[in-house]
Structure 1
């Protein structure tokens, strides 16, 4: 059975450094205010191996990646 990635962004913690969008551009973007956002589901990579790297790159640990 394939695993499913569940990605969450703590918007209260995010400082808009952009490391997530630079590390995993198929999953993350920045909103109009410069804060981290997930790409819409139809544009986002369903399983992005770089999502975990993006979570590690976040300077304030605002991103969580969990798998089923």
Structure 2
């Protein structure tokens, strides 16, 4: 089994697409927001949100700030 070690510089908090909301959580703005559809009291609601990630998370589309 292959293990991968990420450097501290290739995490979400160091990515140009990340917008931090707090010290350890933020939104990935690499792609357009995702549409959310849900029902409350028999009424359908629509919202769009960017994916929420932790500062230490990472993905394969990292771009340095």
Could you tell me the TM-score, scaled by structure 1's length?
Answer: 0.28
More strand by share: 2
More helix by share: 1
Could you tell me the TM-score, scaled by structure 2's length?
Answer: 0.28
Larger radius of gyration: 2
